Structure 1
Amino acid sequence: MSTSDAPAPSARQRRWAIAKRVLVAAFLALVVFLLVRHASTVDWEEVGKALRETDPLLLAATAGLSLLSYGVYCMFDLMGRHYTGHHVPVWRTCMTSLVCYAFTINLGALVGGVGLRYRLYGRAGLKPATVSRIMMLAVFTNWSGYLLLGGALFAAGLVPTPEGWFIGDIGLRVIGAAMVATALAYLGVCAFARRRTWHVRGHAVEWPGTRMALLQLGLSTANWMLMGFIVWLLLGREPQYLPVLGVLLIAAIAGTAVHVPAGLGVLEAVFIALLGGQVPSHELLAALFAYRGVYYLAPLCLAALAYLVLELRHRHGRDPEAEPART
Structure 2
Amino acid sequence: MSAADSTLDGAPEQQTGNPKWRWAKRILTLCLFILVPVLLFMLIKNLDWQEVRSALLSYKASTLLLALGICALSYLAYCCFDLIGRHYTRHKLPALQTLPVTFVCYAFNLNLSSWVGGIALRYRLYSRLGLDVPTITKILSISLITNWLGYMLLAGAVFALGFVKLPGSWEVGSTGLRIIGVGLLLAASTYLLACQFSRRRTWHFRQVELTLPSLRMAVIQACLGALNWSLMAALIYVLLPSEAFYPSILGILLISSIAGVVTHIPAGLGVLEAVFIALLQHQMPQSTILAALIGYRAIYFLLPLALACIVYLILEKRARHLRK
TM-score in terms of structure 2 length: 0.82
Structure 2 partner of 1:196 = 201
Return the match for 2:97 from 92, 96, 99: 92
Q: Identify the match of residue 233 of structure 1 among 234, 238, 248.
A: 238
CA 1:128/1:48 → structure 2, altered by over 3 Å: closer, same or farther? closer
Q: How far is 1:315 from its partner? A: 1.9
| Correspondence for 2:182 among 172, 177, 180 | 177
Residue identity in the other structure for 1:277: H
Question: What is the CA distance between 1:279 and its match in structure 2?
Answer: 1.5
User: Could you tell me how far 1:205 is from its partner in structure 2?
Assistant: 2.0
The match for 2:300 is: 295
User: Secondary structure in 2 aligned to 1:312?
Assistant: helix
- Comparing 51-60 with 174-183, greater Cα deviation is found at 51-60
Output the amino acid matched with 2:272: L
Indicate the residue corresponding to 2:216 in structure 1: 211
Deviations 1:71-113 (A, max 9, x none): 0011100000000000011101011111111110110111111
CA apart distance, 1:160: 1.9
**Which residue of the partner structure matches residue 252 of structure 1?**
257
Q: How far, CA to CA, are the matches of 1:49 and 1:107 in structure 2?
A: 24
The Cα of 1:199 is off from its aligned counterpart by 2.8
Mapped partners of 2:176, 2:283: distance in 1:
22
Q: Secondary structure at the match of 1:311?
A: helix
Partner Cα separation in structure 2 for residue 213 and residue 80 of structure 1: 12
State the identity as a percent.
49
**Counterpart amino acid of 2:142?**
L
Aligned to 1:56: 61
Q: Conserved in 2, the CA contact under 8 Å of 1:144 and 1:183?
A: yes
After TM superposition, the runs of 4+ consecutive aligned structure 1 residues lying more than 6 A away are 45-48
Q: Which residue of 1 aligns with 2:40?
A: none
Matched, 1:277 2:249: no
The alpha-carbon distance between structure 1 residues 265 and 201, as it changes in their structure 2 partners (threshold 3 A), is: farther
Aligned-partner Cα distance in 1 for 2:173–2:108? 34
Contact 2:151/2:229, CA 8 A, preserved across alignment: yes
Other-structure match for 1:145: 150
1:229-261 residue CA offsets vs partner (Å, 9 max, x unmatched): 110000023321000110000001110111111
* Partner AA of 1:96 in structure 2: V
Report Cα offsets for 1:180-229 as digits up to 9, x if no partner.
Answer: 00000010111111111113466432111100000000011111111111
How is 1:31-42 mapped onto 2 (pairs within 5 angstroms)? none
Whole-angstrom CA distance in 2 between matches of 1:191 and 1:48? 50
Q: What secondary structure, in the 3-state scheme, does the structure 1 residue paired with 2:166 have?
A: coil
**CA deviations over 1:55-79 (Å, ceiling 9, x no partner):** 1221121011101100001110000
Q: Tell me how many residue pairs correspond in the alignment.
A: 276
Partner of 1:86, secondary structure, is coil
Query: 1:276: Cα distance to partner?
Result: 1.2
- Residue 48 of structure 1, CA deviation: 7.7
